[in-house]
Amino acid sequence: MITLEHSNVDELKYGSDGLIPAIIQDSRTLQVLTLAWMNAKSLQRTLASGETWFWSRSRRALWHKGETSGHTQKVVEIRYDCDADALLVLVEPRGPACHTGETSCFYRKLPFHREPS
Amino acid sequence: MITLEHSNVDELKYGSDGLIPAIIQDSRTLQVLTLAWMNAKSLQRTLASGETWFWSRSRRALWHKGETSGHTQKVVEIRYDCDADALLVLVEPRGPACHTGETSCFYRKLPFHREPS
């Protein structure tokens, strides 16, 4: 059970769709795992459970990360940015973050080369 | 000058507002610096210049990061996620990322404590 000062939660600015982007980062390796979306309820559930809960924009439903795969994410720290409209959630992942089985959802590069300037 | 395979750029999915979120991470420290937004033109400028260009949602304008402060960000790598609707940009920052002078925009924590379960 995690308790949060309401003043901080009340500072957060959600978009017109009621969502705020949440960057999920491995607290040990610092690898960025996922960009997910939260609404106020998924943040409440995240704080109450100590595990990440998101809003699935495709399924239009609250989603407890790992509820089917078992690959839950233990919340270590939650930070918010200067505009209070984005979250950075440091987690200890229990398994891959990506539904593809990759550790991170950002497993593909935009290949480019820097030409000699 | 950076050249990019168009196939990869064409894969990217922008929101109904024409924007895609871009997580900016320090390539050396792995600190997450900013969550910024790009449209197709700011990504083109980023690739062409090798420095980050964003779309300012408040000013509704293209924005070359550091154009006034001098705190530009040299692009090292650009990754995209499994849904192709978010970017992870690894950069070498020339100064603080945040307009407040903080190294990262995520300088504030949501204070919470985990009660013994």
Nearest CA in chain A to B79: A109
* B116 — pLDDT class (breaks 50, 70, 90): very low
- Which residues make Cβ contacts (< 8 Å) with residue B61, sequence separation at least 6? B55
Question: The complex's ipTM?
Answer: 0.91
Query: Could you tell me if B19 lies within 8 Å of chain A, comparing CB atoms?
Result: no
Report residue B105 CA to chain centroid gap: 11
What are the backbone angles phi and psi of residue A69, rounded to the nearest 5°? -80, -20
Predicted confidence (pLDDT) per residue in B66-109, tens digit: 999 999 999 999 999 999 999 999 999 999 999 999 999 999 99
Residue A33: count of CB within 10 angstroms of its CB: 25
Q: Mean pLDDT in chain A? A: 91
Longest Cα separation, chain B? 55
The fraction of chain A above a pLDDT of 90, given in percent, is 84
Q: Select the residue from A25, A26, A110 to test the B interface by mutation, using most B Cβ atoms within 10 A.
A: A110
Residue A45: count of CB within 10 angstroms of its CB: 18
Q: Which domains does chain B have, with CATH numbers?
A: 6-93 (3.10.20.810)
Predicted confidence (pLDDT) per residue in B81-90, tens digit: 999 999 999 9
Query: pTM of the predicted model, to two decimals?
Result: 0.92
Could you tell me if B81 and B88 are in contact, meaning their C-beta atoms sit under 8 angstroms apart? yes
Query: Could you tell me if B35 lies within 8 Å of chain A, comparing CB atoms?
Result: yes
B107 vs A78: CB contact, 8 Å cut-off?
Answer: no
